[in-house]
Amino acid sequence: MSEWISSLRAVKRLRDAGLNAPEVTLGLWAEAGFVKSRASWGRFSHAGGVDEQIFLNEPSVVPDGLGVSTPWPDIPSDFWHYVNVKNGNAEAHYEAGIFAALVELDPEIGTHSETEHMKLYGVSFHSDDLDALLNGVGERQPKVPLSKTARSNAGDKPKTDGWADFGAALALFISEADNRQLRSTNGVYTAVADKLIEAGRTPLVPKTVRPMIDRARLWIEAGKVADGSAD
């Protein structure tokens, strides 16, 4: 059975196989289309604003059956090109499975192309593709087109498990944190999201859980459950 493994596990697999630069190799294989990759959710910044989307496990299909209406959760190989060349505030955090880059949506027209900054979280890689490459029999996968991100409703109602996971990780972080670490809502979110990613789970997007974090901070500051929101 095919398996999607975390970026952390993928890097470890390559390192255990004797590769000296597993992160670089993994990124180049993904760019070349030899290994498929997916993301759990992403933040997309463009001229019209910023969208955050949680992706379905499989790409959605258009009603007439002509194909997928969006590549996500599959990551287009061209995205990895922009990550690898490190242009446009590119980020590559292989241990955390977080990657970002400013991409050209129509690279054929170069600097005149519309651009979009994509930051992807919970990135995983296809285990079978990695095994084939390590055994010297890897094949290039069908190219996934890089296109402007369409607004998706997939993440509007996060699953109950996502809330339970985030709440549990938040409680664990609060039990271990000092007052300084609790001063920033964004800081708390990042720390909790990191714990979830390390555990192989997908954190809910910031805007979804911000009220939870704010209430928790107020509760701690006031010594009780409080109404309202934190600054």
Q: Tell me the mean pLDDT in the region 53-61.
A: 72
Among residues 70, 72, 76, the alpha carbon closest in space to that of 30 is found at 76
pLDDT at 109 over 70: no
Q: pLDDT above 90 covers what percent of the chain?
A: 37
pLDDT on residue 26: 97
pLDDT on residue 187: 84
pLDDT tens, position by position, 165-192: 888 888 888 888 777 777 788 888 888 8
Query: In the chain, which ranges are E strands?
Result: 4-6, 37-38, 41-46, 49-54, 91-93, 98-104, 115-121, 124-126
H/E element holding 160? helix 160-176
Name the residue ranges covered by the structural domains of the chain. Answer: 4-134, 160-222
Mean per-residue pLDDT of the chain: 80
Min mean pLDDT across 4-13, 24-33, 62-71, 215-224 is at 62-71
Task: Sort residue 72 into left (φ over 0), alpha (ψ -120 to 50) or beta.
Answer: beta
pLDDT on residue 149: 62
Confidence of residue 58 (pLDDT cuts 50, 70, 90): low
pLDDT on residue 2: 61
Q: Strand 4-6 vs strand 49-54: parallel, antiparallel, or unpaired?
A: unpaired
Q: For the chain, what is the total number of helices (H) and then of strands (E)? A: 7, 8
Asked if 8 and 97 count as a contact pair (C-beta separation under 8 A), the reply is yes
Q: Tell me the mean pLDDT in the region 37-48.
A: 88
Min mean pLDDT across 156-165, 173-182, 197-206 is at 156-165
The encoded tokens of residue 67 equal 């194909």
pLDDT on residue 200: 75
pLDDT on residue 229: 44
Confidence of residue 90 (pLDDT cuts 50, 70, 90): very high
Q: Tell me the mean pLDDT in the region 78-93.
A: 90
pLDDT at 211 over 70: yes
pLDDT tens, position by position, 124-141: 999 999 999 999 888 898
pLDDT tens, position by position, 64-76: 444 455 788 999 9
pTM: 0.62
